[in-house]
Structure formats: C-alpha cells, structure tokens
Structure 1
C-alpha cells in the first residue's frame, strides 16, 4: 500500500488567493480624473539610471563622448532622446553657416568658408550683387571715352612705329631699284624695276649674266630686310597686345576696386579675405567674361551664352548650411542614414550628352546640418547601409567632415572630379538601438567604445511606490492632452496600473514599455467616446483589453477547440502512469497565450540513459536538451549511490511538430519519469511548469500567468471538476497577475494553484503519495514514490546483473577450453 500525503500538507502548499493578483485601489490617486492632475513637467518615469547617463552624456564636451541609447522597443527611448537633446540644444549657441566657393588656385578643390549664423545667405546675396555690379562697371568701362582714348593712343603709336618701319623698308627697296608688293595671303614679294617699271621674266632673261646676278643678290638682301621688318612689326604687335591687355586690366581694376573695399572692411576672417582677393584678381584676368552678349540668338550664340554662364558659375556661392532660422544648437533625427543622407553628395547635370558637376552642386548631409549640435540615428538603420558605419567612425575620429563618393570607398574610379575641402566637425551623435546590438558592437568593433563612451540603458520595468503612482497619472494626462483623448477616471487609472504590473511580470513593479500602455489609452478612450461617456472609466479599459485579445486570439481559440474535440490529446481528469500535462507559451505577433502539452515517459532496462525523442528528431533546442541532462544527474544522485543506474528511458512532447526549447518543462519531465519508474499514476487534472536543478530544487520560469490561464481555459472548456490546477515554482508567486475569472474559480474551489520548492513537494501533489526519505543505507521507505522507484531500479539492476554473469561465465568457459587445446598441442 502507498503512503498517502495528509490533506493538510497539500492545502498548505496552495497559493493564497490574496497572492494571485495585486489590485490597485483607486484611492491612491489624489484627483478624480487626470484633468485635475498636475502634468508631468519633464523626465521619464522609472528610468533614473538612463536619466543620469543622458544628462552626463549631453553635457560632457570631450572627444569620444557620444551616446548609445540601449533599450527594448516601446520603452520611450527615442522620444526621450529627442526631448533631452532639444532641451540641451536650447542653451547652446547657434553654430556657424557654411558655404562652398570656387577655388581660383585649384578649381577641383572647392573652398569651405564659415560665417556667423545667418550671414551665409547674406554673403551669397552680396556676391550676387557684386557680380552684377562688376558686369555693369566692366561694360561701362570698355564703352567709355577715356578707355577708348587710351586704347586709340596705343593703337596710333603702333601704327606710327609700323609705318616708320615700312617707310625704311620702302626707301631701301627704291635704293635697290625694287618695288614691294603684298600678296593676297598677306605676304610681301620683291619686284625688280627697269626704268621705273616692273621687270618681266622675258626681260629679265634677256639681261646679261652679270646684271641678272646683281639683281638676284639685291633681291636676296632686300628679302632679308623684309623678313626682319616683318619680325619687328610682329614684335610691335605683341607689345601692343600686352599694352592693350594691361590697359584692360588696369581699367577693370580701377573700375571694380571700389566694389571690393566695403567687403574687405566687412569681413575680417583672413580666409574670406583671401577668397575676395583671389576673386578680384580672377575678375580682372577674365574681364572678357563680362563683355556684351551676342545680339543674335542663333545656335552658336546660344552655345556661347551657355559657355559664358558656365564661366560665371565660379563667382557664385553655394550655401551648404544655413542656420539663419535656428535657435540654439540644431537637433537632427536622420530616419534613413544612407551614405549620401549622412555625409552629403555631389550631384550632376547633363550637358551635351555628358554628366558634369561643379561646386554649386555640392549638397549637405545630416552631419552638416547637425554640426555644432546633435544627430540622432537608429543604429539598426545605420548598420543596414553599406559603408555608413565605417565612414561615420572615420568622421568622428578625425573630427572633419569630407564629402566623398561611395565609389572611392570601394576603390572604383572617382567620377566627381571634385575634392571639396573638409569642414571641422563638432557634433554629438546619439545612436538608438537594442542592448543586443550594443553588446555586439562592443565585442566586434574595437573603435566602438572609443567613440561611444556613454551608455544610456533603459530598463523594461520599474519599482512601484507612491511617487510612481503620481508620475504615472501625470504621464497619462500628458499623453491624453497630446493625442486629444478623454480624461481618465481614477478607477481607469487603477486598471491601467494593474495592466502595467502584468506587463512587468512582477507584482512589485510597473512596466517601462510605454508603447503598450499608450496603445491601451487610445483604445479605452475610443470605447468611452463610442459610449458617449465624458471620461474613461475602468469598464472602458477592460473593454479595450477584451477587444485587443479578441482581435489577436484566433489561433488560441483554434488550438483550444482542437483540444476540446480530442484532436490534440490532453487529459484533464483521471490518473495515468508516466503521463503529465506540461505548459508552454506561444506568441503570435503581439499576443501571448499558454497551451498544455501531453508529456509521456517510458522506462525500461538498459544503459542508454534518457533518450530525448525531440533531440533525436532535431526538434529540440540546446536549453531543452540541457534540462534533460540535468534529469540524469538528479536520478543518478538519488538512486545510484550504491549501485549503477541500469536505466533507459524515452521522453517526448506528444503531438508537437515544431522546435521545442527552454528548460521550463524539465521538472515536468522528471515527474513523468518518476511516475513511470514507480508505477504510481499522476493526476491528469494538474499541469506543471518549472525547471529543476541536479539537487531537485525547483527554479522559476517565465510566462507563468499565460500558462496558468491557458490551462484554466482548457479545463473550463472541457469541464471543471474541482480537482484541477497548476503547480508553479514558489519564486513565481510574485509574478502572478491572474485574470479575475481564474481568481473566482480558485476562490470557489473549482481550480487550484500550488507552489513548490522541491521535486518531492511536487510529486506528492501530483500523486497524493509521500515522496519518501533516504535512510543511512541509501534505502527509501516502502510505499513512497522514491521507495517504489528504488525498488524498480533494484530489480532492473538484478536482472541486468544476472545476464551479465551468464555472459561472463560463458566467456570464461570458452577461454578455458582454448587454453586446454593449446596445451595439448604443445605436448604433442
């Protein structure tokens, strides 16, 4: 006969109803509705560590003290980062404007000029006015009488000197009795004369040889003089061209010099002054850019006009960053951190079938706009863009922002042809991501901690106290005002607090995942408006929760129907050996529910140990397999102190066709093994959850509320008997936030929840039989669970020992026969 456990002992292990859920009394809120509550002025609830880290990171201005804000989704880390960055930016000075201008010395290296905030656009406007004034003054100068008079003097001097040269040449020709004639090509030929008339070829041939020779020598000498005269005239022409060019430059310099004087007086920055000086000299050197445009707009004229417009581009100003409308330091949130969006780009235009660019087509990135302030980026989006992370690190290391094309990063041929001057960078980068990404970067990137030295970590929950009640109500008011929701009654606030506690999974805490709470605020306000209520009350919050569940629990209901109709076999009544109900948690999107699973165990003689069928079929995760190995250690420690463990066993989750992982069912599997070994049946109306260690101590698990509620729903659908319930680890009592219908069933005795600390306590609840204790000889009491297990293992060991002795005896006899045979052979 088995030794039954006293009913009083089993009753003592039940969880009191008062601990199944904590209820927030509406009276803890001082005001009737949120409309009467003082709004939350600043900060975020329950994130003191993150608040201190954020304040430190935003205030310290040393190199490398950028921030990484780590936290789970829905904790409000992005919103808080934006708010705090904007607050920190209010007291900061407005950063400078930045402009790119033409580099007259190295045209492919545009210059970067900085101006006080708002002065960049003014500088651009001044430069546009300047180029118009220069064009007007240059045209006016070249059309003026004074310029024409000086130019005419230069030309007259040239003509006079040229005429003198021609006069000397003409006198020499007459002296040699020659005449000089110009050809149609502009050349000069010498023609001999006879009696003042040109000598024809026939006449020349009739002359004597001596005369002809004299004429040839004179012609040769005269041609040399002609060539020398032409060279002198060409030198005079070049000198005149230089004089005209110098006259043009001097005239333009005199015309535009007064235009630059106010600019030199206004801008004291030496770099700006150098640019203005180079600007002025380039205008003087290229004054032909400002000549009158062609009068006829034919194809060639349009081409010339376009070329002139391209030439005048060099005098424009590209305002890259304009902070004229900024108050305080800039705060930029880059939602799509591609290479171009972060670091800027050089654009192109199509010109006669080819792609061209210039410094006016340099476009800024987010880092340019955030320079002097704060840049906020989602690290997940950043890491998805090729090269963006590596270039960001380089920029933060060098503190210089240079616009480059990704093709250069890949080692391809650069197509831009421009190398804009780098801009000094002073920016605080705030990365936002999950803790997993933070730890991954910490491990894999050696530069990460050098550049992001401040970790701002958001917790997923917070401790519940009186201050949190007030802050929670104030934050609800803030959100209601922001989104235009109805005010919440104190009873609705109490329901919200209970919902927050359930999300936190701890009766002593509230969740920090404000996204889920805010979602409930919106939906509760909607149902209140539908009803026509002026305020949101507790019933509206409960209705919103019920509607949320109904929209998402289709799979939960389908699985429950399959269990109810027997397709998925789960027993919730009676007793069976080696069979038990385990509890698992399933998640579909944003909905989580518990579901019971039948776990069976078969034991038999052998040496294979515990066989995990899920592992053999590759359906078991590493944690689940670890839990089964722990069972082997527990059984060996309990029952193999004075004999080996001659056990083979198979364990499986019946009717599961997907991956099984986690160790929360390890105690459940151990109970099934003990039942199979002892032959003592397990009550099928009791489901179990909890992991176990090698000493038989029960360890806590997750999802305890969903597991209990899932099994309760199945029992309710099939039929409550008053003997059903769930065994949970005692550490999980503080995590209980069960639904009212479960608590009502517990109060009425239709459902039960037990807490256990050890395997012994659990097996006694499941079987109603005492677990048993070990005496000094290593034996257990008769009629107890462990006594029956030990008895079964002893029989197994005896059986396997007899088989072993028989095998060893046969082997010894065969060996002796072989020895005798060998001896006989040697004697012969």
Structure 2
C-alpha cells in the first residue's frame, strides 16, 4: 500500500484562474477611440536607457564617441535613430561645400577647396564664366590691330637683322668672286664667278691648278662664313620667337588679368587665392589654347583620338558636395555600404582602347555627403563588406577621407591614376546591429571600442503601467494617421495591450517590439473595413490574430492530427510506469507552437548510469546533456548517501528525429525515472515542463504559454476528461497569458494547471502518491514514493554486489 496525496493538497497547487491571463480593462483608457488621443510627441516608448545613451552620444563632441545601437529586430532602433538624429541635425549648422579643382603643379593630385554652405555652385558658375571671358578676351587681343602691328614690328626687326648679316656675307663673297645660291632643299652653295658670271664646268677645267686651288680655298672660307652666319640667323630667329612668345604672354596677361581681380577680392581664403593665381599663370602660359577657334577645335579632336583629356577641362570645377538644399547638418542613411558607396570613387571612360580619367570624374560617397553631420549604417550590411569596415576604421582614426580606386590598386585597370587631396572628416557614425554582432566586434576587433564608445541598448520589454498605456495609445494614433488606418476603440487598445504582454511573455511587462504591433494594427484595421465598420474593436484584433495563426499553423495542425489518429503516440488518459508527456516548443518562421512528446525511462541493475539515447545518437545538444547530468547528481544526493548508486537507466524522447536541446524537460525526465524506479504509474493526462537543479528545485523555462496551449489543443482534439492538465514551475505563473479558451476550460474544470517548486510536489501530482520525507535514520517511509525508490535501489545494489562476487570467484 502507498500513502495517497489529499485532494486538498492537489487543489492548493493549482494556479488560480485569475492568474492564467491578466486582462487589461478598457477603462484603463480615458478615450473612446484613438481619434481623441493626443499624438505621440516622443520618439520611442519604454526605452529610457537607450534614449539617455543616444542623447549623450549624439551631443558629445570628442572623437571616438560614435554610437552602436544594440537590440533585437523590431524594437524600433532604426526608426528612432532616424527620427532623433534628424531632429538634432536640424539644430546644427549646415557644413561646408566642397569641390575639386585642377592642380597646376601636380596634375595627378587634384586639390580640394571648401566654401560656405550653398556657395560652391556660385564659385563654379564664376569659374565657368571666367573661362568664357578668357576665351573671348584672348581671341580679341590676338585679333586686334595693336597686337598685329607689334608682332609685325618684332618680325620685321629681326628680319632686317638677318638681311644685314646675309648681305655682308654676300658682299664678301662677291669680293672673292663668288656668289651664294639657295637650293630647293634649303641648302646654300657657293658658285665661283669669272668676269661677274658663274664659272662653267668647262671653264673651270681649263684653269691652272694654282687657280683651282685658290678657288677651292676661297670657297671653303666662304662656306665657313656661311655656316657661321646661318648659326647667327638661327639665334636671331630664336630670339624673335622668344620675343613673340613674350609678346603673346604679355598680351594674354593684359587680356585676362583684370578678369581675375574681382574673384581675388571676393575670395580671401589663402588656398582659393593660390588656385586663382595658378589658374591665371597657367592661362598665360597656355594662351595658345584660346588663340584661334579653328586651331582649338583641331587640338580637341587630336586629344580625343589620342585618348588624352581636353586641355580646357583643367579650367573647370568639379562640385563635389553641395549642401545648398540642407537645413541643418546632414543625416545620411546608407543602406548599401559598399566601398565605393561609402568612400567615393574615380570614374573612368574608355577611349580608343584605353581608360582615361580626370579630376571632374571624382564622385563622392556617403561619408562625404554626411561630413559635418551624421551617418547611419546597418552593422550587418557594413560587415558583409569587409573592405568598407576596415577603411571606415582607418578613416575615423585619421580624420581624413581618402578616395582610392580599388581596381587600380590591384592592377585590374590600366588607367591614368589620380590621388585626390583628402578631405577633413567631422562626422558622427551610428551603427545599428544585434547584440551578437556587438559582442563579436567587442571580442575580435581591438579598434571597435576605441571608435564606438557609446553603446545604445534597446530593451525588448517595458513596465506595464498607466503611463505606458497612454503612450501606447498615442503610438497607435500616430501609426493610424500615417498609414491611413481606422481608429481603434479602447477595447481594441486593451486587446493590443494583452497581446503585447503575450509577446514579451510576462503579465507585468509590455513588448517594445513595435514591428509586431504595427503588423497587427494593419490587419485588425483591414478586418474592420471588411466588416464595414468605422472603428476597430477587440473582436477585430482577435480576428487578426486568428487569421495570422491560420496562415502559419499548417504544420501545427498536421502534427496534432497525427497525434489524434495515433501515428504519433501520445497518451492523454490512463496511467503508465516510466512514461510521461513532456512539452516542447517548435518554431517555424515567426510562428511558435507547443507540442507534447512521450518521454520514457527504463531502469535496471548495473553501474552504467543514465544513458541518454538522444546523446548516443547525436540528436542531443550540450544543454540537454547538462540537464541529464544534473539528474544523476540529484538521485545520488538523495539516495546514495549510505550506498553506491547501482543504477543503469535509459531515457529517450519517443518518435523524435531531429535535434533536441535545452533543459526544460529535465524535471520531466526525472519524474519518468522516479516512476520507473518506484514502479508507480504516472497519470498520462498530465504534461510537464520545467528544469531542475541538483537540490530538486524546479526552475523556470521559456515558452510556457505555447506549451500549455499545445497540450490543451491535443486534449481538446482527443476529448477533454476533466483530469487533464499541465504542471509548470511556480516562477512561470507571472508569464501566463493564455488564450481565452484555455482559461474558460480551466474555469469550468475541464483542464487544470498546477504550479510546483520542487520535484516532490510535482511527482505527487503526477502519481497521487506522497513523495516522502527522510526520517531520522536517513531513510524514507516504505509507503511513500521515495521509500519505494530507495527499496528498489537497495535491491539493485544487492544484486549488483552478488554479480560482482560471482565474477570475482570465476577469476
């Protein structure tokens, strides 16, 4: 005979009905509908820690205080960051404009110039107008009479000098009876004369040898003089070219200098003035670019054919960053942070088989556009581009944005390379990511905490109180206005609050994962419109939830039908030794549901300990292993104080073929072992969840609502008997937000939910037998469950000893 647990004790361990679902009353809301609610003024609800950290991080000016927003998806991190940053950015000054200009000293290193916000386009227009004026004035000067008279005078002067020198040579040659003649090829030859006429070949042959020799010597002398005179004439021509070139430069300077004076007076910045002086000097040196339109067009065509930049391109301005349209500092969101999107690039264009570029093809990236303000990035997207992450760190450390083309660095593109001057960086970078990414960067990247010193952590829950009710209602009002949804009644608001508590799994809390809430708002409004009403009420919210579940619960229903028809064997009536119903939560996408599993235990004499069949078949995770080892510790501590534990046992989840992990079934497995050892059957109408420690204390678990509802659904499908129910840890009572049909069944006595703190309390509910307390001798009463277990273990110990004696005797 065994000692039975009283019905009074069993009833005392039941969870009171009012604790199964903490209902929010519509009267908590003063409004009838959300139309009467004041719109939400704050950017986010229930994130005081994050709001304070965000405010600090955005306002501190020192370097390294960039922000990393941490939190699960759906908590409103990105929306809040965008709203808050734009709010602060609007109060900040508009940053400088930037442009790239030609570097006349080092053409491969374009210079960067800065201007007050909104003025770079003015500068660009002035430079373009300057170029047009220069072209007009230079051509006008070179086409003028004054220039042409001066040029003719210079040429005539040098031509006269050359004629005088040449006449002297000719006169001297005539004195020596020679004449000078120019050949068609430009060669000058000496011709001997006789009686003032050229000496023919026959006449020359008739001369005496002495005369021939004399003529040859005179001819050689004249040739030497001609060579010397030719050299002098070349020098004269060179001097003439230099004087004409100087005349051209002076004329060009005269034509353009007055054009630069207004710009030099207007722009007092030293760097801009240096550029303008260099611009003017280069114009004067290259006056031929503008001298004649026809020649200039031919030159441009030749440059195109040769694949070289247009000469006049150097006199343009590449407007790089124009902040004219900004009202405050920029707040840029870069959704695709590739290297070029982040740091800019130098574009190239093909021309007759080659790649060419110039400073006008330098394009900005997100860092340039956000410079002087804020840049928001998704950490996951950034880290998927490792080059972007590494260069971002280097840029933040150096405080300068460099533009470098990666294909050029790797030798993939044969091109004329440019190295633009870096731009000073003044920016606040905001990364948004998950806790896992934050921990990963903290552990693996030594620069991370130096550059991102402000952690803005978003919680998944907030306290459930009247103040948050009102803010929640204001949030619903805002979202309905933005999306054009129907207004929500206060009963609908109460239903939304209950769903929020259900999401977070705590009667005392509300979820801050507003993404799920907005989804429900849209769908509830849809069903209200379908019903032809003007206001969303609690029924439409429940309908939206039911429809969401219906769209996702195909697998849940399939498994439940397999249990109902007996393919998956789960008993919900009767009693069995060493067999119990455990509860697990399955997740498919964003839909979670509970499912009962039959857990069985076999115990026998031996010293192998507890064998986890899932572990032996590699279907068990590390946390599940730990739970089973805790069972061994509990059993040894309770029953092996005066003897070794001669226990061999096997445990398994029947009909499971996928990985099992977690320790929420450890108490369930322990109950099955105790039943097998005591030979006392367990009520199959009761399912169990909860982990256990080595002292036999029941510990809380997750997914308690889904587990209870999953077993209830199976019992309901098979048929409710009034004996069925679930045992949960006492600590999980605060997490109960069960569906109304479960609460109604409990209220009517068709279903039960018990709360336990220890293994003893749980095994008594499952078997109806008193667990038993240790007596003064360290044993347990024979009529208790633990007494039966202890007696079985003693018999197993004796049997094991006899077997060992026989084995020793045979040796």
- TM-score (normalizing by structure 2): 0.98
Deviations 1:490-543 (A, max 9, x none): 000000000001001100000000000011001111111111111111111111
Indicate the residue corresponding to 1:483 in structure 2.
483
Q: Which residue of 1 aligns with 2:675?
A: 675
Query: How big is each residue's C-alpha offset from its partner over 1:35-69, in whole Å with a ceiling of 9 and x where there is no partner?
Result: 00111112311000000000001101110000000
Name the residue aligned to 2:255. Answer: 255
For residue 405 of structure 1, report the CA deviation from its aligned partner. Answer: 1.7
Which is worse superposed, 656-665 or 526-535? 526-535
Give, in whole Å, the separation in 1 of the partners of 2:414 and 2:476: 55
**Matching of residue 155 in structure 1 with residue 155 in structure 2:** yes
Residue matched to 1:801: 801
Structure 1 gap ranges (5+): 812-828
Task: Give the secondary-structure state (helix, strand or coil) at the position aligned to 2:310.
Answer: helix
1:428 is matched with: 428
The 1:52/1:408 distance shift into structure 2, 3 A limit, reads farther
Higher mean C-alpha displacement, 407-416 vs 656-665: 407-416
CA distance in 2, matches of 1:410, 1:639: 72
Quick check: 1:48 aligned with 2:87?
no
Maintained 8 Å contact 2:50/2:457: yes
Change (3 A) 1:458 1:90: same
Alpha-carbon distance in 2 for matches of 1:700, 1:727 = 12
Corresponding residue for 1:176? 176
**CA apart distance, 1:244:** 0.5
Deviations 1:622-673 (A, max 9, x none): 0011101111111111111111111111101001010000000000000001
User: Is 1:264 the counterpart of 2:264 in the alignment?
Assistant: yes
Q: How far is 1:196 from its partner?
A: 1.4
Which residue of 1 is the match for residue 320 of structure 2?
Answer: 320
After TM superposition, list the pairs within 5 Å mapping 1:547-566 onto structure 2.
Answer: 547-566=547-566
Contact 1:667-1:691 at 8 Å conserved across structures: yes
Once the two structures are TM-superposed, the CA of residue 194 in structure 1 deviates from its matched residue by 1.4
Q: Which residue of 2 aligns with 1:380?
A: 380
Are the counterparts in 2 of residues 729 and 757 from structure 1 also a CA contact under 8 Å? yes
Alignment partners' CA distance in 2, 1:380 and 1:752: 46
Compare 766-775 and 201-210 and name the one that shifted more. 201-210
Residue matched to 2:192: 192
Instruction: Tell me how far 1:301 sits from its aligned partner.
Output: 8.1
Residue 204 of structure 1 and its aligned partner are, at CA, apart by 2.0
Structure 1: distance between partners of 2:411 and 2:384: 21
| SS in structure 2 of the partner of residue 72 of structure 1 | coil
> Cα offset for 1:269?
0.6
CA contact (8 A) 1:346 1:416 kept: no
- Counterpart for residue 701 of structure 1: 701
Report the secondary structure of 2:54's partner residue. Answer: helix
Do the aligned residues in 1 keep the contact of 2:309 with 2:356 (CA within 8 Å)?
no
Deviations 1:167-194 (A, max 9, x none): 1011110011100000111110111111
Structure 1 residue 197, shift from structure 2 partner: 1.6
CA drift at 1:124: 0.7
> How far does the alpha carbon of each residue in 1:699-719 deviate from its partner, in whole angstroms, 9 at most, with x for none?
000000000000000000001
Comparing 34-43 and 430-439, the one that deviates more: 34-43
Distance change >3 Å, CA 396–CA 542, structure 1 → 2: same
Q: Which residue of 1 aligns with 2:717?
A: 717
Q: Is the 8 A contact 1:407 1:414 kept in 2?
A: no
The Cα shift of 1:292 comes to 2.3
Rate the CA distance shift 1:309–1:292 in 2: closer, same or farther, 3 A: farther
Query: For residues 106 and 272 of structure 2, what CA distance do their matches in structure 1 show?
Result: 16
3-state SS of paired residue (2:294): coil
Contact 1:166 1:229 in 2 (8 A): yes
Structure 2: how far apart are the matches of 1:510 and 1:296?
Answer: 75
Q: Are residues 1:534 and 2:534 paired? A: yes
The SS at the match of 2:586 is: strand
Superposed CA offset, 1:732-762 (max 9, x none): 0000000000000001110000000000000
Establish whether residue 208 from structure 1 lines up as the match of residue 208 from structure 2.
Answer: yes
Q: Which residue of 2 aligns with 1:96?
A: 96
Hey, what does 1:494 align to over in structure 2? Answer: 494
Secondary structure at the counterpart of residue 224 of structure 1:
helix
Give me the whole-angstrom Cα distance separating, in 2, the residues matched to 1:191 and 1:42: 108
Provide closer, same or farther for how the CA distance between residues 580 and 415 of structure 1 changes in structure 2, counting only shifts above 3 A. Answer: farther
* 1:651-662 → structure 2 map (5 Å cutoff): 651-662=651-662
5+ residue gaps in structure 2?
none
Task: Specify whether residues 359 and 295 from structure 1 end up closer, same or farther in structure 2 by C-alpha distance, changes over 3 A only.
Answer: closer
| Count of residue correspondences | 810
1:8 matched to 2:11? The reply is no
Cα deviations across residues 264-290 of structure 1 (Å, max 9, x unaligned)?
A: 001011000000000001110111111
Structure 1 segment 443-522 matched on structure 2, within 5 A? 443-522=443-522
3-state SS in 2 of match to 1:31:
coil
Q: What corresponds to 2:68 in structure 1?
A: 68
| 1:411 CA drift (Å) | 8.1
1:350 equivalent to 2:350? Answer yes
Check the 8 A contact 1:405/1:414 in 2, yes or no.
Answer: no
**1:84–1:409 Cα change, 3 Å:** farther
**Structure 2 counterpart of 1:239:** 239
Q: How far apart are 1:372 and its partner, in Å?
A: 0.3
CA distance in 1 between partners of 2:108 and 2:677 (Å): 86
Look up the match of 2:329.
Answer: 329
CA distance in 2, matches of 1:305, 1:106: 22
TM-superposed deviation, 1:201: 2.9
- State the Cα distance separating 1:777 from its structure 2 match: 2.5
Q: 1:219 to 1:410 in 2, by over 3 A?
A: closer
CA deviations on 1:291-323 (whole Å, 9 max, x unpaired) are 32338989x984468789711100110001000
Contact 1:179-1:193 within 8 A present in 2 as well: yes
Partner residue of 1:743?
743
Q: Is the partner of 1:15 in helix, strand or coil?
A: coil
CA distance in 2, matches of 1:614, 1:414: 61
Q: 3-state DSSP class of the match of 1:387?
A: helix
Alpha-carbon distance in 2 for matches of 1:411, 1:214: 72
Q: Over the residues paired in the alignment, what is the CA RMSD in angstroms?
A: 1.5
Q: What's the secondary structure of 1:432's corresponding residue? A: strand
Partner of 1:788: 788
Which residue is 1:613 aligned to?
613
Q: Residue 145 of structure 1 corresponds to which residue in structure 2?
A: 145
| 1:205 Cα deviation from its structure 2 partner | 2.6
Superposed displacement of residue 452, structure 1: 0.3
TM-aligned CA deviation for residue 774 of structure 1: 1.3
Q: What is aligned with 1:815? A: none
Stretch moving more, 191-200 or 765-774: 191-200
Answer yes or no: is the 8 Å Cα contact 1:71–1:458 preserved in 2: yes
Q: Which residue is equivalent to 2:593?
A: 593
1:820 aligned partner: none
Return closer, same or farther for 1:138/1:517 CA change in 2, 3 Å cut-off: same
Distance change (3 Å), C-alpha of 1:354 and 1:203:
same
Q: Which residue of 2 aligns with 1:310?
A: 310
TM-score in terms of structure 1 length? 0.96
CA distance in 2, matches of 1:536, 1:524: 7
Greater shift in the superposed pair: 671-680 or 776-785: 776-785
User: 2:28 aligned with 1:20, yes or no?
Assistant: no
**Comparing 350-359 and 492-501, the one that deviates more:** 350-359
Between the aligned partners of 1:295 and 1:238, the Cα distance in structure 2 is 23
Taking the aligned partners of 1:31 and 1:563, their CA distance within structure 2 comes to 47
Q: 1:474 to 1:768 in 2, by over 3 A?
A: same
Structure 1 position 409, deviation (Å): 6.3
- CA deviations 1:752-783 (Å, max 9, x no partner) are 00000000000000000011111233211112
Q: How big is each residue's C-alpha offset from its partner over 1:436-464, in whole Å with a ceiling of 9 and x where there is no partner?
A: 10011011000000000000000000011
Secondary structure of residue in 2 paired with 1:753: strand
Kept after mapping to 2: 8 A contact 1:330/1:370: yes
Q: Does 1:288 align with 2:327?
A: no
Q: Is the 8 A contact 1:373 1:426 kept in 2?
A: yes
Q: Is the CA contact 1:293–1:305 (under 8 Å) kept in the aligned structure 2?
A: no
State the distance in 2 between where 1:744 and 1:254 align.
Answer: 100
- Alignment partners' CA distance in 1, 2:252 and 2:116: 32
Q: Secondary structure of 2:515's match?
A: helix
